[in-house]
Amino acid sequence: MKQYTIAVIPGDGIGPEVINESLKVLNRISQLDGTFSFRFDTYPWGCEYYQKTGEMMPANGIDILRPYDAILLGAIGAPGVPDHISLRDLLLKIRHDFDEYVNLRPVKLLSGAPCPLKNAKPGDIDMVFIRENSEGEYSGQGAWLYPDSPQEVVIQDSVFSRKGTERIIRYAYEMARSQHKTLTSISKGNALNYSMVFWDQIFKEVGKEYPDVETHSLLVDAAAMFMVRNPSRFQIVVTSNLFGDILTDLGAAISGGMGLAAGANLNPERKYPSMFEPIHGSAPDIAGKGISNPLAAVWSAAQLLEFLGYPQWSARILNVIETMLVEKKGLTADLGGSASTVECGDMVVSLLG
Ligand code: NAI
Ligand code: MG
């Protein structure tokens, strides 16, 4: 029997609550399948760890994680620890050091999921965001000159390398080709006259190798408007780190909310482990109450199964989530139900088998 080793970083706030449910679901699936199993090793890294040790994870944390098949992460962030430290020293470090340059975020309105758009039906909202995840606006480069003086200047640099831009755009073209979908590139070349002009140029250049793929290019502001007015025009979407971060929260809002939004950080070459996480944060406002929605974390576990080569199990999980939404069974408060986090996870497990 094949055994996968998974590093689990539950993190802060609701992270541990929601991750527990995705572990239950993965264990159940390995039982049902019978050809593979999981070994989960849990690491208590995050803000509490920081408050005890002064670091978000041990100095050799990356070496500890490297041998794993994949990483499951809950959420990171706690009041009292500056977000730029918690995010940068753990999440962004893992994404960067493991060259997880693809951030894959499905934006799909399942039947029964709440949608604030008046006329949208399931099927109208069914896109995949491919967000550049290794450089761009989140490169962390810049300078802070003459602090606390009248001459104070801050510079936040964006970094768009040819290698980094080409590989994310190529990944998107490959997905559009293999799934026979349209590809939309979102940029802002009119205002960002270096980075985004370059992005648009690479999008055209790489596109010459994919004459069979129908493409569209949108400015990010117009794209935000169209996601609300006409979301069905998007299928596969490729965009930069910052734009993808913002637009996928909008995507979550139109497809059931943060409790249903999953994301995968992929190293497509599989040289390093990829990391799977719900896109929501640690939700300190509801942490510890046992009412957080675990379905985003469960959906990210579905993404993990797909990445490991079990698309049928990934589809099965989405099916179960859809059944719960349609039949209004086992849903947490954010989706209008009254189930606890654990009851919601139990419902997934029971409907699976
Ligand atoms: P958040 O996503 O934690 O919460 C936003 C709102 O959505 C809150 O009202 C929360 O209760 C609700 N919410 C989020 N996930 C939910 C779930 N599973 N079930 C039910 N309701 C849910 O974003 P916020 O408040 O901006 O950030 C809180 C902390 O999380 C900060 O420290 C932030 O830096 C961190 N964060 C971490 C992320 C990560 O680890 N990937 C991503 C985003 C934020
Ligand atoms: Mg975000």
Per-residue pLDDT reduced to its tens digit, 41-72: 999 999 999 999 999 999 999 999 999 999 99
Give the pLDDT confidence score for residue 68 in this predicted structure: 98
Query: From the CA of 146, how far away is ligand 2's center (Å)?
Result: 30
Q: Which ligand ends up closest to the CA of 244?
A: 2
Query: From the CA of 55, how far away is ligand 1's center (Å)?
Result: 21
Backbone angles phi, psi at 81, to 5 degrees: -120, 120
Query: From the CA of 259, how far away is ligand 2's center (Å)?
Result: 13
Backbone angles phi, psi at 133, to 5 degrees: -125, 10
Structure confidence at residue 146 as a pLDDT band (50, 70, 90): very high
- For the segment 293-311, the average pLDDT, to the nearest whole number, is 98
Q: Is the CB of 195 under 6 A from ligand 1?
A: no
pLDDT digit string (tens) for 208-258? 999 999 999 999 999 999 999 999 999 999 999 999 999 999 999 999 999
Residue nearest to atom 37 of ligand 1 (CA): 281
Which of 248, 282, 292 is the best mutation target for the ligand 1 pocket, counting ligand atoms within 8 Å of the beta carbon and taking the most?
282
221: left (phi over 0), alpha (psi -120 to 50) or beta: alpha
pLDDT digit string (tens) for 71-80? 999 999 999 9
Opening angle at CA 145, ends 139 and 151, nearest 5: 135
Query: Is the per-residue pLDDT at 140 higher than 90?
Result: no
Structure confidence at residue 127 as a pLDDT band (50, 70, 90): very high
Q: Which ligand ends up closest to the CA of 336?
A: 1
Query: Is the per-residue pLDDT at 353 higher than 90?
Result: no
- For the segment 163-190, the average pLDDT, to the nearest whole number, is 98
Query: From the CA of 35, how far away is ligand 1's center (Å)?
Result: 36
